[in-house]
Chains A and B, each alone.
Chain A
Amino acid sequence: MRFAFSEEQRLFQEALAGMLAEQCPPEAVAEAWNGDSGRIPGLWAKLAEMGVVGLSVPEAHGGLGLDQLDWVLLLQEAGRAALPEPLLETSAVAAPLLSELGGELANEWLPRIAAGEAVVALGLDPAPWVADAHEADLFLLQAGDEIHALSPQEVRATAQPSVDGARRLFRVEWEPSERTRAAAGEGGRELLALTLDRAALGAAAQLVGLARAMLDRSVDYAKKREQFGQAIGAFQAVKHQLSDALLQIEFARPLVAHAAYTLVHDWYTRSRDVSTAKARASDAALQCAKTALQCHGAIGYSFEYPLHLWMKRSWSLAAAHGDAAWHRSRLAKLLLD
């Protein structure tokens, strides 16, 4: 029994955190809201160079061949920076799915993903939306128990603007066919279940990072902002809210690592553990968003102050890949029935 990340995993986390602090400051995220792509120009190539984009692409295809456990701390950092790049969908979810689908699809797309040259959009239940369809080179879409691979020319995408301006969502219409089918039947069902768990877990990891970023920013603010002649962080009413926010984060964070472990080792508790992690990480981020806003007061409510960037990303990811209620409902079936 050893519940701790390795030194290597920690060092990779630190390296990414340092890089994002430089390359993805709040001003750059705010800028991404206004651009056509919703992304930060040039950043994807830098992430690919670091190995982050191809993290779970097998080494034979030019990636690092690492797994979900190696993703946890990196996705937390992506959340902390509110990174506006398709790291979750393309790198953490589509890449392992393509490996499992194998064949021509894997041979064609995995090297391009690792090189930072391809973005993959995912259409998976229960999410009705497809993120980043405007940038995607490949679509992996669910129809019942089947997975289909389509090119951008084979889908019609209608923008469904999100509350988070850097998160571009679409309703995608398409026709499944024999030619586009990549998996079906029992195999398809199993892959889809695993893929949903990976997506929910990735969102949960980002939510933990988002929550922590909002808490840290609020603590800094509460130490500096003075009212009635003292820092507002000295008032118990403020202290207790911030302590509760930390409590929520600290009891969600290990659940994300735990679920990543049981996913990687294919324990029978995998889906239960992922749902526990996603439900509690969503709750934690939503609570931290409210607490952060309340502790900031009016400045936090202004659009030019960046707090809303993390709040909106939190609201988006809390709703994505099954919100807390969806995952608790799945847990209820697993635990109670």
Chain B
Amino acid sequence: MDLTYTAQEEAFRAEARAWLEAHVPRDLPPLDSEEGFPLHLEWEKKLFAERWAVVSWPREYGGREASIIEWLIFEEEYYRAGGPQRATQNGIFLLAPTVFDFGTREQQERILPRMAAAEELWCQGWSEPGSGSDLASLSSRAERVEGGWRLHGQKTWCTRGTFSDKLFGLFRSDPDSERHRGLTYLLVDLKAEGVSVRPVDKLDGDEGFAEVFFDGAFVPDEDVLGEPGEGWRIAMATTGSERGLTLRSPGRFMATALRLIELYRRYRETCDPRLRERVVQAWTDAEAYRVYTLESVTRIMDDAPVGSDSSLMKLHWSEMDVRLHETALELIGPHAELDGTAPEAVDGGRWMKGYQFALSGPIYAGTNEIQRNVIAERILGLPRR
């Protein structure tokens, strides 16, 4: 057991901290809004230009070949400095690991640098109107034609779909197949003929979702990821990353917990004294996640599979995020209901905004009910039925 950082890691932290403190934009409007989106893109391009967009990637694709420990350090520093949610996150955190593992060299070269540079934004196409938690029941289909596939059907809840250029998702390519078989992982140009995108506002009113309709849109063979018919297995690698480390590093939650402590110091005289213990509990949630992650990355460095542990992590971070924000809203009491535009809003209304975002955590990337089933069946070995 050695919980110290090397001189190289400390130097990496110092460099990241100095750059982020000087450059992180303050008070950007929401990412999923017409006025906010271009400003977030500008920030992404600045990150990319200085090689901070995808630190763990190879240099040729814009990264720094940072180790997993350095990546954790970068995330800690990014959120400590108050960096905004990443506009490119669905691409760099969800699709990219799959492209690295299953993509051809040609696909990697074509897709990854543009994704990292925020020149091409990606959204995911998993859910359908009839397929949510039961993803394997999906029915959007890919019909084999000369040189590629023609798509028919509908995807929904595509995060930031209206702002995206491309969609990655699963389509039923074998019409006689059922469930997990006969699905193909496709990369779809949202500007192509036969694709239409309809915005759907999220709970918080931002234009964060889209429905995507396919009416014979053509996808060339070069945009199949992995082998046709192997889509389920390939996609599970992506959802594994989504649930686990790649999307939800501890740095974000620890930064929120430390802001909650600052908030407590401002409201300690007026708030309910019982909230003192709740603030402490919220901090221990974040600390437990940080320490669990150290153990988890050590296993990754030892080449042990992460597997179903990612379900434990997903339960913990998603429920912790809700509790962190609930506690903050109780601290600010009557200010909780003020919108960010209200002159007397606390911290620009970030706590209610963050609360609404946190409430999506137990739903997306596999609902927490599904995760509890996965833990019971795959880790504890309880019978499926």
Contacts and interface: CB of A to CB of B under 8 A. Distances in A.
A223 B1 contact: no
Given A234-B384, A239-B373, A1 B9 contact: yes
B300 to A, nearest CB: 11
Given A1-B294, A223-B381, A251 B316 contact: yes
Interface in A257-293: 257-258, 261-262, 265, 276, 279-280
A332 B280 contact: yes
B228 to A, nearest CB: 35
Contacts of A231: 382-383
Interface string A1-18: 111111000000000000
B288 A251 contact: yes
A230 B3 contact: no
A252 B288 contact: yes
B312 A247 contact: yes
B292 interface: yes
Contact of B316 (A69, A239, A247, A331): A247
B381 to A, nearest CB: 7
B312 A261 contact: no
B27 interface: no
Interface string B5-19: 100010000000000
B292 A234 contact: no
Interface residues of B, number: 47
Most A C-beta atoms less than 10 A away, residue of B276, B281, B382: B382
Contacts of B298: 1-4
B302 A4 contact: yes
B3 A279 contact: no
Contacts of B381: 219, 223
Given A2-B1, A247-B315, A335 B382 contact: no
Given A1-B3, A1-B294, A242 B382 contact: yes
B306 to A, nearest CB: 13
Interface residues on A, range: 35 or more
Contact of B4 (A1, A239, A276): A1
A236 interface: yes
Interface in B160-176: none
Contacts of B1: 2-6, 69, 257, 261
Nearest to B380: A219
A240 B369 contact: yes
Contact of A331 (B280, B294, B315): B280
A245 B279 CA distance: 23
Interface in A304-337: 325, 328-329, 331-332, 335-336
Interface string B185-206: 0000000000000000000000
B69 interface: yes
A222 B299 CA distance: 30
Interface string B361-384: 000000001011101110111111
B330 to A, nearest CB: 15
By secondary structure, the B interface counts as: helix
Contacts of A251: 288-289, 292, 312, 316
Nearest to B385: A234
Contact of A4 (B295, B372, B376, B385): B295
Most B C-beta atoms less than 10 A away, residue of A1, A4, A219, A244: A1
Contacts of B9: 1
A65 to B, nearest CB: 17
B283 interface: yes
A245 to B, nearest CB: 9
A73 to B, nearest CB: 11
Contact of B291 (A4, A246, A258, A335): A258
B60 interface: no
B284 interface: yes
A100 interface: no
Interface in A202-244: 215, 219, 222-223, 230-231, 233-234, 236, 238-240, 242-244
Sorted nearest first, the 7 A-B pairs with minimum C-beta distance are A239-B376, A233-B382, A243-B375, A3-B294, A243-B372, A251-B288, A3-B298
Given A1-B9, A243-B371, A247-B375, 9 more contacts: A1-B69, A233-B376, A243-B376, A246-B312, A247-B316, A251-B312, A255-B291, A280-B288, A336-B261
17 contacts: A3-B297, A4-B302, A5-B1, A219-B381, A233-B383, A234-B383, A243-B375, A251-B292, A254-B291, A255-B291, A265-B3, A276-B284, A328-B284, A332-B277, A332-B280, A336-B261, A336-B276
Interface of B: 1-5, 9, 69, 261, 264-265, 268, 276-277, 279-281, 283-284, 287-289, 291-292, 294-295, 297-299, 301-302, 312, 315-316, 369, 371-373, 375-377, 379-385
